[in-house]
C-alpha cells in the first residue's frame, strides 16, 4: 500500500530537481556590411557670416529689412544713418556760446566798417589817379607823381579785397557761433541739406539676424545686422579628443536627424588643432575638439537647413561590405580573451574568438566561429560550459 505514495513522492522530487534547459536568446553568425563610426551632435553654420556695423556716429533709422530677406551685394540698402541732433548745453556752456556769438557779431560790424572805409579810400584813389593822368597829359605833373598815384590806387584796391575777405570770414565765424546755440529740437532742414548715409550689403545672400532693429543712436563699429549665404553651409561637431585623433580629413560622414526623410552625405574637411574643456550634462569635464564637415549633397536637398540648426553626425572610421559579425552583447571577457557561448547539440560550449572592428551593436569576428554558428545573444552567470540550453 505504501509503495504507491512513496513512488509518487519520489517521482515528484526527481521531476522537481531534475536539471532543466535554460531559456536564452539565440542568434547566428551572419555576414554583411559593417560600418564603424564615432557619433556626436553638431550644429550647422554658414561658412562666412558678415556683421554689418555702423561706419560713423549718428542716429540709425529703424531697420525695415527682416531676417530671411534676400540681399544683393553693393545694391540692397540694409540700414541708414542720419546726423544726430545737437546736444543740450548746460548754463555755463550756453552763456559762453552766446558770448561768442555776440563777439562774432561785433567783429562782423567792425569788418563791415573797415570794408566801407576801404571802399571810400579806393574811390578817392581812383578819382585822384584820373586827375593826375589828365595833368600828365597836359605835362603839368612829373612822371614820378603819376607812378606814386598809381601805386596808391593799387594799394587801396588790395585793401578793399582784404576788407571784403575779413567780412566774409567774420560772417562764417558768426554762423558757426550761432550753430552752437541751435536747440536739440531743431530739425536738420533748418540747417541745410543733411542726407542720410546708406549702408549696403557686402555680399549676395540673406539677412541672418537684425541686431539693432529700432531707431536709435549708434557708435562707430556697433553691429547692426548679420548677413550670409545660406547655401554656403557647413557643420561643426565637438568630438571628444580621444575620438578626434581617429578622424582624418576626407573621411565620409553621415548626417542624420536633421529633419529630412533621409540622411545626408558629408566629408570631413578640418579637425581643429586645439581642444577646449566642456562640462557634460552629468557635470563631467571633457576635452573636446571641433570637427568641420562639408555637406556633399546639393543645396536643393537640404535647402530648409539654416544657420545654427541641430544635426547628428557619424564619421565613418572603417567600413566593409562582407564580414562575419555577431551582436556585441554576445561577447564577454575571460582574462585577455574574447569568448562566446556556442550552442552545440543543445548545450553551451565556450568558444574563444578573435574580434576585429566593433561598434556599439556589432563586432567583426576574425576567427573562432563559422558562418551560421548559433550563439547565445545575452550570456549571464547561469550559463556554463555544458549547460543545456533552449530557445526562449
- What does the alpha-carbon distance between residue 202 and residue 49 come to, in Å, rounded to a whole number? 10
Contact call for residues 200 and 78 (beta carbons, < 8 A): yes
Contact call for residues 228 and 208 (beta carbons, < 8 A): yes
Contact call for residues 317 and 37 (beta carbons, < 8 A): yes
Phi, psi dihedral angles at 31 (to 5 degrees): -115, 140
- Cell 576574425 belongs to 366
Mean pLDDT on 204-219: 91
Beta bridge partners of 38: 315
pTM above 0.85, yes or no: no
Residue 381's nearest CA partner among 355, 348, 352, 359 is 348
What element of type H or E holds 193? Answer: none
Mean pLDDT on 336-344: 91
Higher pLDDT, 154 or 11: 154
- Write out the three cell numbers for 241: 579628443
Confidence (pLDDT) at 191: 44
Phi, psi dihedral angles at 9 (to 5 degrees): -65, -45
pLDDT at 16 over 70: no
% residues pLDDT > 90 (the chain): 58
- What does the alpha-carbon distance between residue 198 and residue 76 come to, in Å, rounded to a whole number? 9
Confidence (pLDDT) at 339: 93
pLDDT at 379 over 80: yes
- Write out the three cell numbers for 226: 548679420
Mean pLDDT on 110-126: 92
- What does the alpha-carbon distance between residue 244 and residue 293 come to, in Å, rounded to a whole number? 13
Confidence (pLDDT) at 90: 83
Mean pLDDT on 146-159: 90
pLDDT at 150 over 80: yes
Mean pLDDT on 142-163: 89
Under the banding of pLDDT at 50, 70 and 90, the label for residue 28 is very high
Beta bridge partners of 226: 51, 209
Confidence (pLDDT) at 389: 83
Instruction: Identify the DSSP state of 57.
Output: S
- What does the alpha-carbon distance between residue 321 and residue 203 come to, in Å, rounded to a whole number? 45
Mean pLDDT on 259-272: 93
pLDDT at 284 over 80: yes
Amino acid at each position: 500500500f505504501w509503495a504507491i505514495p512513496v513512488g509518487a513522492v519520489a517521482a515528484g522530487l526527481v521531476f522537481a530537481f531534475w536539471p532543466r534547459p535554460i531559456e536564452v536568446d539565440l542568434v547566428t553568425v551572419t555576414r554583411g556590411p559593417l560600418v564603424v563610426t564615432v557619433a556626436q551632435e553638431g550644429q550647422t553654420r554658414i561658412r562666412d557670416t558678415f556683421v554689418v556695423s555702423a561706419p560713423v556716429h549718428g542716429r540709425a533709422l529703424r531697420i525695415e529689412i527682416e531676417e530671411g530677406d534676400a540681399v544683393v551685394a553693393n545694391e540692397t540698402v540694409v540700414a541708414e544713418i542720419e546726423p544726430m541732433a545737437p546736444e543740450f548745453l548746460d548754463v555755463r556752456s550756453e552763456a559762453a556760446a552766446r558770448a561768442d556769438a555776440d563777439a562774432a557779431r561785433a567783429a562782423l560790424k567792425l569788418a563791415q566798417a573797415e570794408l566801407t572805409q576801404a571802399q571810400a579810400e579806393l574811390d578817392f584813389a581812383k578819382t585822384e589817379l584820373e586827375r593826375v593822368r589828365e595833368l600828365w597829359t597836359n605835362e603839368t605833373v612829373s612822371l614820378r607823381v603819376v607812378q606814386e598815384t598809381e601805386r596808391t590806387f593799387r594799394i587801396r584796391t588790395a585793401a578793399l579785397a582784404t576788407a571784403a575777405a575779413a567780412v566774409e570770414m567774420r560772417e562764417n565765424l558768426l554762423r558757426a557761433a550761432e550753430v552752437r546755440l541751435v536747440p536739440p529740437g531743431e530739425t536738420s532742414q533748418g540747417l541745410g541739406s543733411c542726407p542720410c548715409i546708406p549702408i549696403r550689403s557686402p555680399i549676395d545672400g540673406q539677412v541672418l539676424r537684425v541686431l539693432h532693429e529700432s531707431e536709435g543712436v549708434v557708435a562707430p563699429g556697433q553691429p547692426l545686422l548679420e548677413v550670409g549665404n545660406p547655401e554656403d553651409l557647413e557643420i561643426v561637431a565637438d568630438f571628444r579628443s580621444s575620438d578626434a585623433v581617429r578622424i582624418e580629413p576626407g573621411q565620409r560622414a553621415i548626417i542624420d536627424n536633421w529633419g529630412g526623410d533621409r540622411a545626408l552625405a558629408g566629408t570631413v574637411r578640418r579637425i581643429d588643432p586645439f581642444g577646449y574643456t566642456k562640462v557634460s550634462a552629468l557635470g563631467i569635464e571633457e576635452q573636446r575638439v571641433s570637427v568641420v564637415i562639408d555637406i556633399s549633397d546639393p543645396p536643393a536637398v537640404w535647402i530648409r537647413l539654416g544657420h545654427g540648426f541641430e544635426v547628428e553626425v557619424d564619421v565613418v572610421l572603417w567600413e566593409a561590405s562582407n564580414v562575419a559579425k555577431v551582436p556585441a552583447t554576445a561577447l564577454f571577457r575571460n582574462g585577455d580573451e574574447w569568448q562566446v557561448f556556442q550552442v552545440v547539440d543543445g548545450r553551451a560550449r565556450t568558444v574563444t574568438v578573435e574580434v576585429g572592428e566593433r561598434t556599439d551593436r556589432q563586432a567583426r569576428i576574425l576567427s573562432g566561429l563559422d558562418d551560421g554558428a548559433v550563439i547565445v545573444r545575452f550570456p549571464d552567470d547561469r550559463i556554463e560550459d555544458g549547460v543545456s540550453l533552449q530557445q526562449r
